[in-house]
Structure 1
């Protein structure tokens, strides 16, 4: 049940402004295109201005040229907890703009939907968090702890923004984080981990008419691929199906031979290479999978020592799981029930988010919960439902007030 104070703060949300600010941010293209000198900085400056306008303490930290993180802090009572709302300012490419029904950066509203690249993933969620803090500030309530908004760069790439955030120590005092990614305001308490590995088999280059004068790298790589299929089956047998994430997977995504130089019909390349996209569920670890990949390579090389293997882990992000009894989960659960009169839907995130880094590297309990259709990110005609946008803003208000508590109020 909502209290009088909560209803007062919720009444201070300017719904038209939430929509208008989302449009403004979507209209700032923030695709990372270094060849054109385009990146997240203009969008980050917009966020910085809104945070300063609210009255938050802000930090603007350049991770790479044109790629900053923006951090806003609203201080409550000293010694209290700190709740983070996390979002990213980068968006993926719009692709062929002529294929869009409406211009991809126009943020046009048709009916109850806003169309535009980044509206769903995830500028709407970021604006919802900003506007939630704005309503709390306007209410003059003093919270029992701090709210931190982190708007970071490069979530769609190698996540250098959130890694920098953690390395700089910003996560050290964060007690819990709500990741504002598009999940239809479901409570997603688990995320798949991801591991990308490049495996290169090296033999000896030769003329295609005289293959015995060389060592064909294609056959040992083919054996390795068969071993990876067996590894996937073994991991599924061992770890089974996760309640929200399904089964783990080992997927070859890029095959290259030769690795360098031009391919020719009559040349047997010295090298063959594969990139694996490995998705992990709770109970698995990147370190364990790496050791099994290396063991497979060693077993194949033992049959022919003229072949060598190199295993390079390009990226490793552990899977995450947040217990339903974590305070931030309980707070969101009750807030959703009181706000909507409905049971919350629990789920998991099939990919990885910045929350993966917050959890695995800084131990921050995370819940991914934000507005937007789960399946529309990265699509042409990406859209955001305006009702969900407003609902998320209200949900974030209640989450902050209940997680941190209120120590002073002025009704």
Structure 2
């Protein structure tokens, strides 16, 4: 059974014969889906800096066009690249959108995936070529197989499975492939750019599915919030043999870290969200990640910068998180010996925590599809990190809260050496789940 009270179910929208036909068709299009995924993986779209984006966008666009979609390429103007893609070395940013109109066209579902991938790290750590898309033991290996070119391949061929099953979608389906998810940013040149510039509109789309991997049997309804910030402390230079003549900015930075760790971090550990996976990420947290100070060993540093990663759980707000950090700084300044504390606070990324209703139709129909395909009750989870869900939920007006995350594969494969996806156990399962959910949500007619 799907969620109590949900108005969308697989069995309520599709006949048993249609369900069987869609699942069989998903198995039949799996080889095409696999081959398309391999073609995507073989294009090195490492970000930063954002290589070969146009080539990858065109592969997606040409494939969509061959399948009957109206295709639009969305390139970020060069003058906006320094702000939206500061790590992009001026390389072009090209997104792609395909639109396929249904027989009735009264509803629209948008499926989205990013095609940039993180760097491979040390090539010697890879058992198989990181952009080879080689298949061994039923798994395809390569950067992006799981995060998240596998999701893009599955979302496109899920619609093809519906067609092959002899059905036509009543509603409209949109497919987008976007850039720069991996380099985040308060705004970005991918999903953020599409939202900001009206390519995705709340009043024209009924729901969005972002096909990131988290766990093939889970529907993701949110993610933790994030602040990436830096506090820069200012002191006064002096010779290392006469530290009393200076003001040691490094001492101030270390005192801040110590005070925050002893006072704020224990309070954060008590704030938990049991829906977050993995369990180790369920509590709010503050991690100090970088410390930069000093130019040489015999000089008291006048500048020290400490960076932090603050993760929020639903119920916390960015305003509250900033206030708590400010309170630690104020307490330090009130401590004897630190009356001359001078500092600047800056953020290079921040997003509120996100949670959408798991009982809404798009979430309910995916949960039901997972149970039909896997025989397991779907989990309702939250992601440990932020993703492109934040743009439709937080940046559209009105917010498009009918935005969930579901894709083939597991988050444990993301960003690791020897990244891979199981073709039958993950790619095919995700393909079947999407096909059934798309068909149930948008409705179908016999071809």
* TM-score (normalised: structure 1): 0.91
1:196–1:275 contact (8 Å) kept in structure 2: yes
CA distance in 1, matches of 2:325, 2:411: 33
**Does 2:234 correspond to 1:202?**
yes
Deviates more, 1:216-225 or 1:302-311: 302-311
Displacement of 1:194 in angstroms is: 1.4
Residue by residue over 1:28-82, the C-alpha shift from the partner in whole angstroms, topping out at 9 and shown as x without a partner, is 1111354xx8342211111111111111122211134422111111222666332
2:375 is aligned to: 341
Q: Secondary structure at the match of 1:124?
A: helix
Displacement of 1:132 in angstroms is: 1.3
Residue by residue over 1:154-176, the C-alpha shift from the partner in whole angstroms, topping out at 9 and shown as x without a partner, is 11112511110110123323332
1:163 is aligned to: 192
CA distance in 2, matches of 1:182, 1:326: 21
Match of 1:358 among 392, 406, 422: 392
1:83–1:147 contact (8 Å) kept in structure 2: yes
2:269–2:284 contact (8 Å) kept in structure 1: yes
Residue by residue over 1:143-192, the C-alpha shift from the partner in whole angstroms, topping out at 9 and shown as x without a partner, is 34322212110111125111101101233233322221122312122311
1:233 is aligned to: 266
CA distance in 1, matches of 2:31, 2:158: 13
Match of 1:176 among 195, 198, 207: 207
CA distance in 2, matches of 1:56, 1:181: 22
Q: Which residues of 2 match residues 272-351 of structure 1 at below 5 A?
A: 272-302=304-334, 304-351=338-385
Displacement of 1:142 in angstroms is: 4.4
Alpha-carbon RMSD across the aligned residues, in angstroms, is 2.1
**Does 2:413 correspond to 1:390?**
no
CA distance in 2, matches of 1:357, 1:343: 29
Displacement of 1:240 in angstroms is: 3.5
Q: Secondary structure at the match of 1:120?
A: coil
Q: Secondary structure at the match of 1:375?
A: helix
CA distance in 1, matches of 2:366, 2:75: 32
Q: Which residues of 2 match residues 4-403 of structure 1 at below 5 A?
A: 4-13=17-26, 14-32=29-47, 34=49, 38-63=51-76, 64=81, 65-76=91-102, 80-137=106-163, 141-158=167-184, 160=188, 161-172=190-201, 173-185=204-216, 186-229=218-261, 230-237=263-270, 239-245=271-277, 246-258=282-294, 263-302=295-334, 304-362=338-396, 363-364=399-400, 365-387=402-424, 388-403=426-441
Displacement of 1:268 in angstroms is: 0.6
CA distance in 2, matches of 1:78, 1:224: 61
2:47–2:182 contact (8 Å) kept in structure 1: no
Name the CA shift for 1:119/1:52 in 2 (closer, same or farther; >3 Å).
Answer: same
1:193–1:356 contact (8 Å) kept in structure 2: no
CA distance in 2, matches of 1:18, 1:283: 40
2:219–2:406 contact (8 Å) kept in structure 1: yes
CA distance in 2, matches of 1:228, 1:249: 11
1:82–1:175 contact (8 Å) kept in structure 2: yes
2:225–2:352 contact (8 Å) kept in structure 1: yes
Residue by residue over 1:253-274, the C-alpha shift from the partner in whole angstroms, topping out at 9 and shown as x without a partner, is 001113xxxx212101111111
CA distance in 1, matches of 2:388, 2:344: 29
Q: Secondary structure at the match of 2:130?
A: coil
Displacement of 1:392 in angstroms is: 1.0
CA distance in 2, matches of 1:103, 1:370: 24
Segments of structure 2 that go 5 or more residues without pairing to the other structure are 1-10, 82-90
Runs of 4+ in 1 over 4 A off after TM superposition: 137-142, 302-305
Displacement of 1:223 in angstroms is: 2.6
1:32–1:38 contact (8 Å) kept in structure 2: yes
Deviates more, 1:194-203 or 1:286-295: 286-295
CA distance in 2, matches of 1:219, 1:178: 48
Residue by residue over 1:2-36, the C-alpha shift from the partner in whole angstroms, topping out at 9 and shown as x without a partner, is 523343344444121111111111111111354xx
| Residues paired across the two proteins, number | 402
* TM-score (normalised: structure 2): 0.84
1:33–1:39 contact (8 Å) kept in structure 2: no
